Structure 1
Amino acid sequence: MYTERACRLLGAVVWTNTPSGAGVGPVLPDGCMDLLWNEGRLLVAGPDTRAYVTAGAPSTWVGVRFYPGTAPGLLGVPAHELRDRRVDLADLWPASEVRRLRGRIGAAADPVTALEDVALERAAGAEPPDPLLRGVVTALDAGRPVATTADELGLGARQLHRRCLTAFGYGPKTLARILRLRRALALARGGVTFADTAVRAGFADQAHLARDVRELAGMPLGELLGRRGG
């Protein structure tokens, strides 16, 4: 079973996933990065460009999902270096620090709150997120073209691309495509027909929606809606 709630860190989400059966649904691209706790391990999930399916036997996962663009400043690594990867936190932070945190979370009565505390403490010592990055997400999620977004934010196309690679792990066109998919899934899950979903989410037509879903989620839209996604 998957549950989530707002994190005490502004814009972040705390979630828990305890599979109830043998199958685990795909984790879909969302422009975010996560700090993960799983069976005594601390990991970081980089930004995905395609659906990710957890390997191995089903087990409980706990995570803090950071608002798009905010995790690199907290973790100390550009997002593009972690694109489509799951890495041990000890590969990014000093091993002694990670061992201490693993012991602390493992001994906690509530690992969910303990992991959230780690994220809060890290954020307290980091530089505040660049407000321009939130503007990029807001504009692209509203369906604005990349060129228009760059102009409105006072950036050249190359500047915007470089900043997006560092913050989100990929360029603005890929980010816009992923955010558009998220909009479409929200509409379709709310009962909107696929044809109307395509129009309202910003696709050229239903065939365009179908192609993007297959490429980003790895399955047809109808099958995806029948499964639990991330």
Structure 2
Amino acid sequence: MYQERPSDAVPGAVAWWRAPAEPATPFRVLPDGCMDLIWRDGLLVAGPDTRAQVGESPAGAAYDGIRLPPGTGPGVFGLPAHELRDQRVGLDSLWPDAEVRELAERVAAAPDRSKALAEIVRERRRLHGVGAAGTDGDGARAETIRRLVLRGALGGRGVADTARAVGLSERQLHRRCRALFGYGAKTLERVLRMRRALELVGAGVPAAEAAARAGYADQPHLAREVRELAGVPLSRLAG
């Protein structure tokens, strides 16, 4: 069983956990622009996805994680988001082995692993700052760009308009977006628009209405985007 709740790791973060299941359980993780710190008998990092990640949880495996909002992962993991795009890697491939072992022992012994993971996130944010990874080291500037790009992506604003709003050329904005989100503003908009439409459909909104409210040209446009990004028909996700 999968469950989640808000986390105080960073504003907008989500703590999630998956209880052990028998037998092995297939899963499909849809792209959402986020990065995750995960515990499963060790510490893992999930980078921002451009397509659905499909796999199978081993029988008896339990997971705990912190899902970081789009653009906040670089300030935790200390490297540009595009270097982890579509990847799942051990934390010890990013940070020193001794440090990761100490953190893993702390999480393993914690009565609430989600809270232990959140504390790691807060510690690393204090150490790195938002602007540390490929954003010219200016944390305040990086956070301004992050917020305006997200606002533009959610509002369907064109890349040129967003670039003007943050005072950058389109090429400069693309570079900043790759560092913060893992991909450019157009891809981020596609991902977030699909997530919005699926939330509406999941809440019982008819697909045609959900498509219009999320900013698609029509229902077939939504269906094409879902199949490309999620790898399955809309009807399978809505069922």
The verdict on a shared fold, with TM-score over 0.5 as the criterion, is: yes
Q: Any residues of structure 2 matched to 1:153-192 within 5 Å, and which?
A: 153-192=166-205
Contact 2:26–2:57 at 8 Å: present in 1 too?
no
Alignment-derived partner of residue 62 in structure 2: 60
Q: Deviations over 1:165-220 (max 9, x none)?
A: 11111111110100110110111111111111111111111111111000111101
Q: CA deviation at 1:56?
A: 4.7
Match status 1:108 vs 2:105: no
Compared with structure 1, are the counterparts of its residues 192 and 83 closer, same or farther at alpha carbon in structure 2 (3 Å cutoff)? same
Q: Deviations over 1:111-141 (max 9, x none)?
A: 2221122112212222245222111112211
Counting aligned pairs with the same residue, the percent is 53
Match status 1:43 vs 2:44: yes
Match status 1:4 vs 2:17: no
In the alignment of these two chains, the number of paired residues is 225
Alignment-derived partner of residue 123 in structure 1: 125
Unaligned 5+ runs, structure 1: none
> Partners of 2:85 and 2:95 in 1: how far apart?
18
Contact 2:145–2:166 at 8 Å: present in 1 too?
yes
Match status 1:140 vs 2:153: yes
Q: CA deviation at 1:20?
A: 4.6
Contact 2:27–2:57 at 8 Å: present in 1 too?
no
Q: Which of 78, 81, 87 is the matching residue for 2:80?
A: 78
Q: CA deviation at 1:225?
A: 2.0
> Partners of 2:110 and 2:211 in 1: how far apart?
46
Contact 2:25–2:58 at 8 Å: present in 1 too?
no
Say what the alpha-carbon RMSD is for the aligned residues.
1.5
TM-score by length of 1: 0.92
Q: CA deviation at 1:11?
A: 2.1
> Partners of 2:4 and 2:236 in 1: how far apart?
23
Larger CA deviation: 100-109 vs 176-185: 100-109
TM-score by length of 2: 0.89
> Partners of 1:56 and 1:32 in 2: how far apart?
20
> Partners of 1:180 and 1:110 in 2: how far apart?
33
> Partners of 2:88 and 2:20 in 1: how far apart?
19
> Partners of 1:126 and 1:195 in 2: how far apart?
44
Q: CA deviation at 1:109?
A: 2.0
> Partners of 2:191 and 2:20 in 1: how far apart?
25
Q: Deviations over 1:17-55 (max 9, x none)?
A: 2265643331110010000100x2101000000111233
Q: Deviations over 1:59-89 (max 9, x none)?
A: 2111111111111121111111110000000
Q: CA deviation at 1:99?
A: 0.6
> Partners of 2:26 and 2:225 in 1: how far apart?
22
Larger CA deviation: 133-142 vs 78-87: 133-142
Counterpart code for 1:13 = V
Alignment-derived partner of residue 71 in structure 2: 69
Q: Which of 21, 34, 47 is the matching residue for 1:32?
A: 34
Q: Deviations over 1:153-175 (max 9, x none)?
A: 22211011000111111111110
